[in-house]
Each structure stands twice: as structure tokens, then as C-alpha cells.
Amino acid sequence: MTHDPNCIFCKIVAGQIPSKKVFEDEDLIVFHDIHPWAPVHILIVPKAHIVSHAELTEEHQALAGKMMVLAPRLMKELGVTGGFRTVINTGRDGGQEVMHLHMHVMGGPRPWSKG
């Protein structure tokens, strides 16, 4: 499994930085965002250091599918019943701040909604 010693998410995966963990298995770690945009805002992060969504290849299909299937399950477990939003920012121009693939999953009242 690839790892970047300077990556904050790799440090969370390694247990060097604490997180409010929601889920973990051999492939993924899921934790609450430290700057939430919604009442429930989690990050689904592969344990392997993949820089961005643009770097996914056919070899990552199972991992990407696992992330997509896990999102609704965790939202349900966290009490989100009225829907949720998934966002994957890709690259600097796409708003990606941490250069390690991650999926934001946000549920509850939508502060980004206008009206």
C-alpha cells in the first residue's frame, strides 16, 4: 500500500493524527470532517495514497465502488434520512485541498441551499 509521509490523511490512516472515526476496514477509513458544512459531514478516505480522483484506474474499480456503496450505509447509520450530498474535489482547480483522494458525504439541513 502506498503512503506519503507528508500527507495529513496518510498520517490519520497511520494513527499519527487523531480523528473522530466512523468506520474502518482494510481499504478505507471514514471520519468526521473537522470543518463540517452540514450537521453530518464525513470523509471517506482510501488507506492507499491515491492523489486524486483523476488518478483512479481500472485497478481501483472495486475501491471506488466500495466508497460509493459505503456512503448511503453510513449516512443511514448516522441518522440521515432526508438525503445527502457526495462531493469529490479533484485537483487544485477542482477545489481539492488535501492531495489524497477523499469523498465528502454531507447530510442534514443544507446550509449551501438558497432558500
Q: Which residues are catalytically annotated? A: 102
Q: What is the DSSP string of 38-78?
A: SSEEEEEEESS----GGG--GGGHHHHHHHHHHHHHHHHHT
**Burial of 89 (C-beta count, 10 Å sphere; 0-12/13-18/19+):** middle
Kindly state the DSSP code that residue 93 receives in the 8-state scheme: G
CA distances from 52 to 14, 45, 82 (A): 19, 11, 29
